[in-house]
Amino acid sequence: MSRTSKLVSLDQAVADIADGASVGLGGWIFNSQPMALVRALIRQGARNLDLVPSPGSIAPDLLIGAGRARSTVCVFISFEHHGLAPQFRRAAESGTLKVYEMDGPGIAGGLRASICDLPFMPIPDLATDLPRVNPQHYRPLPTQPGERRLLAVPPIRPDICFIHAQQADEYGNVQFLGGPFFDVMLAQASRRVIVSVDRIVSPDIIRRANHLTKLPAPMVDAVVEAPFGAHPSSSASLYRADDVHLREYVKASAKTDAYRAYLERYVEKPIDSAAYLNEIGAARLAALAVSETNLT
Amino acid sequence: MIATDAQVLPPSTGEFLAVVLARDLGDGEKAIIGTNSDIQLAACNLAQRLHAPNLWWVSGPGGMVNPRREMLLSTADFENIESAEAWLDLPNMVDFIDWQIHFFDFAILSAIQIDRFGNINTVAIGDHAKPKLRGPGVVGIAALTGLSKRFYVVLTRHDRSAFVPKVDFISGPGYLDGGNSREERGLPPGGPKLIVTPLGVFDFVPGSRAMRIKSLHPGVSLEQVRDSTGFDLVVDGTPPVTPVPAAAELEILRARVDSKGALRKKFP
């Protein structure tokens, strides 16, 4: 009997994600945003999603801009040197998006509570306004006199999470060639884990550098091969973030028509990974795979 | 540009702020900086090159310890990994970032609003449910302001929309309502030490914990700072002029820390 392959297509990976699902998004700002999966989910059409992004950028922003999210956790959603996250900002400022404000201890505590099957995780009470605006995730925790003041964070357990990493075998042993950020915690805390990788490699390659395997097979439900699947964010050691494309995205966000055209050109029309990469162009992609030490 | 020694190209605002911060960072201290932190990163690496070879700093998200390139890259950039002396997994790091008290001697942060007691806001201006301006969020700021021994805030703009009487959202506690309110609220000893802006350097009066002018940068008048600040700053006599970056400091900054001139481009 042979071992079961978890390799599926982008469309298969997102096929049964239902309206109203909570969706965890891995990566960190402009690193490893699971963009190929996000674009596939937008094409699939699921609505009223509750997003649980790690500190992120265009992955939550695109889902919000495409009208797919009814709420998002916000630990940090930023376009860094490109400014504030344009669609997140617009939706939050118009009051149409419910924002569950959280911080580092809150998300780490909530994920740990989920991983450990605890009713809550204690975190330090740091005298912020978080409990005021998000009483659902920050509850008072009675303590004894003289003890540190604490808050209780209930479990954060996304129905599904999207993670992008650099390589995996078809059985779901996932390797990170850079920082895994919150990805491992997010995967452990989620009910279902879908990982896109830039390349599928053989089990021999995985064993040869087994210290890079941060998500072993049992923690992963499906693997998708999506070359440049984090584009326009970076994928560690393989390619850098595409600042030209990010500028184009921010510019398109300024006008409804332009943003609609962006969605059509980069999300709706390219029905698979190859079509998307053709739309970006070979020369651009090749340039992103250059080390910064060679850039002027 | 801020005028300084004639021999070298005068420092840009970003370079000036990095040098001013670097001077306050001590040898042997443990520090943390966030993402999008060019000035903060430059200050740490410049301090290491100048007077603090045992300064130890970590980039929270990327897990890189003491990345030491001669050019500025985002702290989460994977190309920093090869220049770091350690590379930690975030789930291990969150124990000492988000829970442990006083692991870090200091953090260097930024904000969209700051108030007279050094509380900082990175979340929203106006009502949180329908804000006038939606900021990026809290991320590690609550833990770093709440649990480090001290913190710094670097702001690249100084105006009344940034310097407000009371922040609309406390992302990171400063001295809360002033006096002993921070301690009474149960936070460990700590709080903001210096606020560094394009106009000057600011500290906090012992006792009241109200923000005070520590020094003004060359060419900046008291009136200009008052006009740009939405609350009354404490002034003790005539504030001194911030010592300008020395030629040697700028040379090391430009040759060994920011060799591609990112600070000059981003913060002219």
Average pLDDT over residues A214-234: 98
Per cent of chain B over pLDDT 90 is 82
pLDDT tens for residues B2-41?
Answer: 555 556 899 999 999 999 999 999 999 999 998 778 999 9
The DSSP call for residue B188 is: P
B246 touches A at CB < 8 Å: no
Q: Which residues of chain B make contact with A149, given a CB cutoff of 8 A?
A: 185-186
- Give mean pLDDT, residues B220-227: 97
Question: With an 8 Å Cβ cutoff, is A177 touching chain B?
Answer: yes
How far is CA A69 from each of CA A26, A92, A137, A250, B203, rounded to the nearest angstrom?
16, 12, 19, 19, 43
Cis bond upstream, residue A232 (ω within 30): yes
Residue A1 pLDDT exceeds 60: yes
- Structural tokens at position B163: 């310097």
Residue B1 has pLDDT above 80, yes or no: no
- For B15, B133, B225, the CA distances from B268, given in Å and listed in that order, are 9, 25, 20
pLDDT at B82: 79
**ipTM surpasses cut 0.90:** yes
Q: Which residue of chain A is at minimal alpha-carbon distance from B147?
A: A126
Q: Is the pLDDT of residue A221 over 50?
A: yes
Facing residue for A104 by CB, picked from B36, B63, B94: B94
Q: What is the DSSP letter of A120?
A: -
* Angstrom distance (rounded) from CA B31 to CA B149: 10
A:B CB pairs within 8 Å: 169
pLDDT at position B96 is 95
- Helices (H) and strands (E) counted in chain B, each on its own, are 8, 13
- Which domains does chain A carry? 7-102+157-294 (3.40.1080.10)
Given a cut of 50, whether residue B154 has pLDDT beyond it is: yes
Average pLDDT over residues B69-87: 84
Which member of B124, B136, B173 has the closest CB to residue A128? B173
Question: What is the structure's pLDDT at B34?
Answer: 82
pLDDT at A296: 41
Q: How far apart are CA B58 and CA B75, in angstroms?
A: 9
Length of chain B: 268
Q: What is the pLDDT of residues A263-276, one digit of tens each?
A: 999 999 999 999 99
Contact B241, B215 (CB under 8 A): yes
Q: Which of A49-58, A97-106, A266-275, B87-96 has the lowest mean pLDDT?
A: B87-96
Q: At what angle do helices A58-65 and A35-44 cross, to 10 degrees?
A: 10
Chain B partners within 8 Å of A84 (Cβ): 134-136
Residue A175 CA to residue A163 CA, distance in Å, equals 11
Look up tokens 């596939």; give the residue.
A40
Q: Work out the burial of residue B68: count CB atoms within 10 Å of its CB; fewer than 13 is exposed, 13-18 middle, 19 or more buried.
A: middle
Q: How far is residue A276's CA from residue A119's CA, in Å, rounded to a whole number?
A: 43
B183 CB burial (10 A radius; 0-12, 13-18, 19+) = middle
| Domain coordinates in residue numbering, chain B | 13-266
Which has the higher per-residue pLDDT, B79 or A67? Answer: A67
- CB contact under 8 Å between A103 and B140, yes or no, is yes
How would you label A220-247 residue by residue, b for 16+ Cβ within 10 Å and e otherwise?
bbbbbbbbbbbbbbbbbbbbbbbeebbe
pLDDT tens-digit readout, B167-176: 999 999 999 9
Mean pLDDT of chain A: 96
H/E stretch holding A174:
strand A174-175
Class of domain B13-266: alpha beta
Binning pLDDT at 50, 70 and 90, where does residue A67 land?
very high
